[in-house]
């Protein structure tokens, strides 16, 4: 049996970089670094992709190398390219049809949608056709209940809720977050500093998100706690993204001195072990902290984030619930991981069983996969 995983194979090569280190490099070198690790411009895609590469026993193939794919004649093709489906994005029916024409199972990891703020969502005819064809060969592993309900509404029934595989990076059913300290001295702040499709309008971004950034910028300026800042997009775009802020010069020093990029999940986890607490609007920026056993509080900005947090029992608050008058210890106290720890083995087993039943072999399995 041959399993193919779409992956460019460059993981764990580039060492972490601070923003100030990037400023000292030639533009040509920066372009090479960030272009080579293109998918690492987003913390979620970065973490999900490397998790699969670490834990799945598969041939690594470029997603568009159909000559190699056809040469291998795979039984199973694993992809996380369907983690963020939206009718507003281009959907390449021809590409997915080519994959289906190989006769292989197309096994999606963390299948999910980008929802409008009002909750409305629809599938195009091309999406319905492809997703039904995939579901006729194997299960579709989805992020949460909302995704499952939408697919079921369109007649796509072979669906299974498995959450996000990035939580299982360590491939250990006994993993727990049990190292909470009494006092916060060092914070990992992870934040979507760019206006994006997650927000229905620029007004929502400014109303909900910018006060959160200003809160942690103020903490940094006071110097009462250390605030590290995980960056996620290409270096040359960082400065322009802060045009959303009315006084860029106020935050320039924060970004330059504390901003940091990671290109290896292991390096990322090692760095986050030095923090006592992680908080922010980047879902996977906080997941990386959880993998470091650093308690994290996710600030959700849409239903997409909420459904994952609920499934995995991760502490979260909604962006509109963030109160800038509260001290940081208030948010730290919300990080109760007893439910996460209680259900971790169950969600891990569910994911492993999903892989087993759909022809995906994991490396060094630590759980019996037949009895979920």
Do 52 and 150 lie in one domain? The reply is yes
Number of domains in the chain: 2
Question: Do 350 and 207 reside in the same domain of the chain?
Answer: no
What stretches in the chain show pLDDT beneath 70?
1-2, 6-13, 35-42, 116-119, 192-207, 232-251, 365-372
Tens-digit pLDDT profile for residues 251-285: 677 777 888 888 888 989 999 999 999 999 889 99
Instruction: Note whether 230 and 318 are same-domain residues.
Output: yes
The helix (H) or strand (E) run that includes residue 298 is strand 296-300
Beta strands in 67-174 (DSSP E): 76-79, 105-108, 140-142, 159-161
Instruction: Dump pLDDT digits (tens) for 201-249.
Output: 444 656 677 788 889 988 998 999 999 988 765 444 444 445 455 555 6
Rounded CA-CA distance 319/329 in Å is 17
User: Three-class SS of residue 342?
Assistant: helix
On whether both 303 and 284 belong to a single domain, the answer is yes
308 and 353 belong to one structural domain:
no
Q: Is residue 178 part of a domain?
A: no
Same domain membership, residue 246 and residue 155: no
User: Are both 248 and 130 inside the same structural domain?
Assistant: no
The answer on 233 and 331 residing in a single domain is yes
105-108: strand order across its sheet:
59-61, 3-6, 76-79, 105-108
Confidence (pLDDT) at 17:
82
31 located within any domain: no
Q: Is 208 contained in some domain?
A: yes
Residues 282 and 302 in one domain: yes
The answer on 145 and 215 residing in a single domain is no
352 shares a domain with 328: no
pLDDT at 89: 74
Nearest-angstrom CA–CA distance, 251 and 249: 6
Structural domain boundaries enclosing 75: 3-13+39-171+344-357
């Amino acid at each position: 049996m041959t399993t193919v995983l779409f992956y460019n194979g460059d993981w764990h090569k580039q060492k972490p970089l601070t923003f100030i280190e990037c400023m000292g490099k030639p533009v040509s070198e920066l372009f090479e670094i960030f272009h080579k690790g293109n998918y690492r411009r987003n913390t979620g895609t970065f973490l999900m992709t490397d998790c699969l590469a670490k834990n799945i026993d598969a041939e690594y193939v470029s997603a568009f190398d159909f000559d190699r794919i056809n040469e291998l004649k795979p039984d199973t093709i694993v992809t996380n390219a369907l983690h963020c489906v939206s009718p507003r994005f281009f959907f390449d029916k021809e590409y997915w049809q080519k994959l289906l024409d190989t006769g292989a199972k197309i096994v999606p990891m963390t299948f999910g949608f980008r929802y409008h703020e009002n909750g409305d969502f629809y599938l195009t005819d091309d999406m319905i056709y492809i997703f039904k064809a995939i579901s006729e060969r194997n299960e579709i592993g989805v992020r949460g209940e909302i995704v499952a309900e939408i697919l079921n509404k369109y007649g796509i029934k072979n669906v299974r809720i498995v959450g996000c595989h990035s939580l299982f990076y360590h491939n250990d059913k006994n993993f727990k977050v049990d190292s909470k300290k009494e006092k916060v001295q060092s914070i990992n702040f992870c934040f979507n500093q760019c206006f994006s499709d997650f927000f229905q309008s620029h007004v929502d971004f400014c109303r909900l998100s910018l006060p959160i950034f200003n809160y942690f910028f103020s903490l940094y300026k006071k110097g009462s706690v250390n605030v590290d800042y995980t960056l996620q997009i290409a270096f040359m775009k960082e400065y322009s993204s802060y045009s959303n802020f009315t006084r860029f010069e106020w935050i320039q020093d924060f970004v330059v001195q504390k901003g940091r990029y990671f290109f290896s999940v292991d390096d990322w986890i090692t760095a986050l072990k030095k923090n006592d607490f992680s908080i922010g609007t980047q879902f996977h920026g906080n997941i990386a902290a959880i993998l470091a056993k650093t308690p994290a509080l996710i600030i959700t900005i849409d239903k997409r984030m909420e459904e994952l947090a609920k499934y995995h029992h991760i502490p979260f608050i909604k962006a509109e619930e963030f109160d800038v008058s509260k001290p940081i210890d208030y948010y730290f106290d919300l990080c109760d991981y007893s439910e996460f720890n209680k259900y971790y083995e169950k969600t891990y087993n569910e994911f492993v069983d999903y892989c087993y039943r759909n022809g995906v072999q994991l490396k060094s399995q630590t759980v019996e996969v037949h009895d979920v």
